[in-house]
Structure formats: C-alpha cells, structure tokens
Amino acid sequence: MHKSLSTVALAAASFCVVNVAHAQVIDIKDGGFSFTFGGQINRGILSVDDGVDTREFSVDNDNSSTRLRARAAYSFGDYVVGGQIEYEFEFSSTAAVNQLNSDVSSSVANERKFELFAETPYGNFAYGQGDTASNGTSEVDLSGTTVVGYSGVSDLAGGILFRDQAGALTTQRIGGNFSNLDGNSRQERFRYDTPVFADGVVVSVSFGEDSRNGIALRYKNDFGDFAFSGALSYNEREGADRVNGSASVLHNPTGVSFTFASGEDSLDNSDQDPSFYYVKLGYERDFFKFGSTAFSVDYYDGSDISSLGSDSDSFGLLAVQNIDRHNLEVYAGYRSYSASAATADFQDIDALLVGARFKF
C-alpha cells in the first residue's frame, strides 16, 4: 500500500513542478520604496491506519500551510517602516480531515498576519495581528525536515480520530492529545524585539488581547564547526501560565543535528499540568547537485495534554529532498501515535504523508 501511495504522491509532486516552477515572486523597488509578493503551495497525500481501516486523503500539509503574503516598506537611512499581510489557504488540511469527513474547506483563507512594522537601530516594533514574542519558541529545529515534521507532531494528521479498544470511533482527535505547548501564536498585539546583542541574543516582548502577554529570549551563533540556535519563553494566557523552549545544534561538516524541545503549563484552578518533551536526531547531506537531502528520526512524549491523567507519545521517520532550481521540497513522513486517557485506552494510529512544497 505504501509503495503505491509513494508513486501517486511523486506524480503529484511532478505535476506541481510542471505547473508552478516558472512562477515568479513580485519584487518591486523604487528609491526607498519596496513591494514584494510571494507565498507557497504545500500539498500531499495522507494515508492513515487507525487500527481498523486504512484510508487516503488529499490534503494541505498543516506543518507549513499553503499561503500568500505581501509586504510593502519604505526605507530612509537606518529606518524601515511598512506593513505586511499574510493569508493561508488550506483545502482539506491535515489538521482537519478525518474518517468522517475527507473534504474540509472551512479553514480556507485564514488571516495569519495583518500588521504595521518599524525596523530601527533601537530594535523592531510591530502592531496588529502577527507573531507574539513567544510564538515559535518550542520549534527551533536545524534538521532540515521541518516541512514534514517538528515538535508539533500532531500537524501531520491532527484531525484523525482515535478508536477505542473495541474498534469504535471516539471524539478524541490526534490534535487534542498532542501539543508542543508553543508560545502564544498569531494575535492582535504590540511586539518589540531588541537589536542583536551579546553575539546573538535577542529579547522580545509582546502585549495582546485576552491577557496574552509574553517574553522570549532567542540566541543564535556559530561555534567553529557547530551552528546553535535556541529559544526560551514565558507567556500568560487566560487561565494558564506557560514556560517552554527549544534548542538545536548542527555539526556542519557531517550534517548531523540534534534538537530538543520541552514545555509546561500551569492551569488555574486545576490539578492538570500539561507537559511534553521532544527529541530529534537529523542528518543532511548534498548527495545530489540539485539540492540537499535531509533525514531525521524523532520522539515525543506528553502528559496531561488532553485531560488530567492522559498520556501521549509519537515516533517519526522523516525525509526531505530539496530541488533548489525550482524552489521545491519533496518529502515523506511516517508517524505513529499512541494515546490514553485516565479511564480509556485508544488504538494506535499510523500515518504516512508524502507531498511537495513549492515556494515562490
């Protein structure tokens, strides 16, 4: 079954190359004014074995959704001011399709960013809907395989429903049992990022609606043959405080990388304390002239994510082939999901996603 699925997906990837490889991003510059327009298309085929049935879905990859973006800016001296808009267009997202509904278009045209910004020698400022200070702090990853798998392990098949031990479908989704407890995502907020100091440190703060405030520390630097990147954040949202972070190190001569992420919530008026940890071992090399090849293996373990006493774990095998000339990545990712609640066990789910992401 997987062999035939791979054949279909590679044919789909070839279709993407033929039809969109010649698309060009709009990039206009006139004096101090600049305007850019671009985006990406990320489609694939998802095959799922839920313990009873095996099904295939034509999907948009929620690891990195199909999207369009536009940015207009004016620069004068050391200052840049402008605005940007970004929308995602997910037709049958991996986060939405399941055994009861294979054609989900309700998530089409979601607003991701709609903000004004200013870049100055004293730091960067942003106002409007966009990334909060803590967004992405659980997701630092130098493996080269994030298009198909990262600490947000549910994105590969988040809408799929678990079955109970008798084989009946439950209301428990993969997405509700796995979380990387990342910082507050895209919100209406004010954000400030300091200039880079101390050889790679940036501090970010944001203030948003519904008490969604946060602070984050990011660090990025090279140490001889090693590249390092890491992030740590504290943020608050209504009813919970969260601490989370991630770090990744890459040995450039060998292409070997290691990634770790972890986080914990403190919920008000509850004994439930959701937490997780995630580890990944990656390997990336230039086997072909047309682009690098990346492989990785990862493991996720979560506690109290869906409810008090719940457990969840996932194992993944991921591969990405870059085709630089066409701004294309062809990928395949296998992931197993196991979950249990305090009073119930669910059957394991195996999922395979094969597809391609084209950037323009």
Residue 79: CB atoms within 10 A of its CB come to 13
**pLDDT higher than threshold 90 for residue 20:** no
CA distance 146 to 156: 11
pLDDT top residue among 24 and 43? 43
Summarize pLDDT for 78-117 with one digit per residue, the tens: 999 999 999 999 999 999 999 999 887 655 678 999 999 9
The answer for residues whose C-beta is within 8 angstroms of residue 289's C-beta and 6 or more apart is: none
Q: What is the pLDDT of residue 107?
A: 55
Q: Tokens standing for 317? A: 């095998």
pLDDT top residue among 311 and 26? 311
Provide the terminal-to-terminal Cα distance of the chain, rounded to the nearest Å.
33
Which three-class secondary structure state does DSSP give residue 132?
coil
Summarize pLDDT for 272-282 with one digit per residue, the tens: 999 999 999 99
CA distance 9 to 11: 5
Residue 346: CB atoms within 10 A of its CB come to 22
Q: Which helix (H) or strand (E) holds 20?
A: helix 2-20
Which three-class secondary structure state does DSSP give residue 211?
helix
Q: What pTM was computed for the model?
A: 0.90
Q: Tokens standing for 10? A: 């590679």
- How large a percentage of the chain has pLDDT more than 70? 92
Report whether 198 contacts 217 (CB < 8 A): no
Question: What dihedral do alpha carbons 237, 154, 95, 23 form, nearest 10°?
Answer: 100
Q: What is the pLDDT of residue 268?
A: 83
Summarize pLDDT for 177-212 with one digit per residue, the tens: 999 999 888 889 999 999 999 999 999 999 987 667
Average pLDDT of the segment spanning 267-271: 85
Which three-class secondary structure state does DSSP give residue 116?
strand
Burial class (CB in 10 A: 0-12, 13-18, 19+), 189: buried
Q: What is the pLDDT of residue 21?
A: 41
